[in-house]
Amino acid sequence: MSITRRCVCPGSFDPVTNGHLDVFTRAAALYDEVTIAVGVNIAKNGMFDSSERVDMLREVTAGLPGVQVVPFEGLLVDFCRARGIPVVLKGLRAAGDFDYELAMAQMNRRLSGLETVFVPTDPEHSYLSSSLVKEVAKLGGDVAGMVPDPVLARLRSRLGSDATGSDR
Site for ligand PNS in 100-129 (CB under 6 A): 104, 107-108
The contact mask relative to ligand PNS for 22-61 (x = CB under 6 A, - = no) is: -----------------x-x--x-----------------
Residue from 60, 94, 57, 62 nearest 72 by CA: 57
64 is a site residue for ligand PNS (CB under 6 A)? no
We find the least distance from the C-beta atom of residue 107 to ligand PNS, in angstroms, to be 4
130 catalytic residue (yes or no): yes
Beta strands in 112-157 (DSSP E): 115-120
Convert 98-128 to b/e letters by CB count within 10 Å (16 or more is b). Answer: eeebeeebeebeeeeebebebeebbeebeeb
16 is a site residue for ligand PNS (CB under 6 A)? no
Out of 54, 64, 75, 159, which residue is the one contacting ligand PNS (CB under 6 A)?
75
44 catalytic residue (yes or no): yes
Contact criterion met (CB below 8 Å) for 133 and 13? no
Residue from 27, 139, 108 nearest 9 by CA: 27
Which positions lie near ligand PNS, rule CB under 6 A? 10-12, 39, 41, 44, 75-76, 104, 107-108
